[in-house]
Amino acid sequence: MDLIKIGITLKPYGVKGELKVAIEEAYLELFLDLSVIFIDLNGTNVPYFTEYFNSNAALLKLEEVDTPETAKKISTKPLLARREDIPFDPEKIEQEALIFTYLKQYTVVDKQQGVVGVILDVLEFPQQEMALLEIKKQEVLIPLNDSYITRIDKSTKQLFMDLPDGLIDLHTKTL
């Protein structure tokens, strides 16, 4: 069975076995309609049925999870959905949607210059998304363009880029 990660369970909440959850934005609306979700428990994808989901509070109540102790056993685990239950191509959504917001606090590493700085924010412009960094006490915008991005390492929170020569210098020269 082909499963896609759509979020993560966080900590138990209350006395009824509810869980705080973080659902990736692209899957939030879809999550309400899923009949079954899966939680990876020690390498086994266990199916669970949703009793209710409060999207305002990000609270999930699963059938047969009725105590804080039971909820704790499935906390901080990936939430998965069957690919067949997702009516769009997840890879395409990640490329087309304003998906680079997760890069906040990532370190930008340029092929020539090495470490450039940390992304303070991701801004949307009509043409593309831009990373906002502070370099030499000046705010600098760097295009988040597939042609400049060589690799994204989520485990180390690093964005590897091959930026055009002079792009950083152009923005940081003192006039």
Res. 132: pLDDT tops 80 = yes
**Residue where one domain finishes, among candidates 67, 93, 119:** 93
Considering the domain architecture, whether residues 57 and 80 belong to the same structural domain is answered as yes
Distance CA 14, CA 129 (A): 39
**Residue where one domain finishes, among candidates 58, 93, 128:** 93
Rg of the chain, C-alpha, whole Å: 20
Query: Could you tell me the residue range of the domain that residue 21 belongs to?
Result: 3-93
Give the tens place of pLDDT for each residue, 93-127: 444 455 688 898 999 999 998 999 999 988 877 67
Considering the domain architecture, whether residues 86 and 60 belong to the same structural domain is answered as yes
Residue 47 carries which side chain, given as an amino acid letter? P
Q: How many structural domains are present in the chain?
A: 2
Considering the domain architecture, whether residues 140 and 158 belong to the same structural domain is answered as yes
The pTM of the full predicted model, rounded to 2 decimals, is: 0.52
Q: Write the CATH number for 37.
A: 2.40.30.60
Considering the domain architecture, whether residues 72 and 123 belong to the same structural domain is answered as no
Considering the domain architecture, whether residues 10 and 58 belong to the same structural domain is answered as yes
Q: Write the CATH number for 163.
A: 2.30.30.240
Give the tens place of pLDDT for each residue, 1-47: 789 888 888 889 999 999 998 887 778 778 888 889 999 888 899 99
Considering the domain architecture, whether residues 16 and 84 belong to the same structural domain is answered as yes
Distance CA 3, CA 83 (A): 5
Considering the domain architecture, whether residues 89 and 162 belong to the same structural domain is answered as no
Distance CA 64, CA 73 (A): 13
Considering the domain architecture, whether residues 20 and 61 belong to the same structural domain is answered as yes
How high is the mean pLDDT of the chain? 84
What token pair was written down for 146?
């597939």
> In which band, very low, low, confident or very high, does the pLDDT at 174 lie, cut at 50, 70 and 90?
very low
What token pair was written down for 107?
């370190």
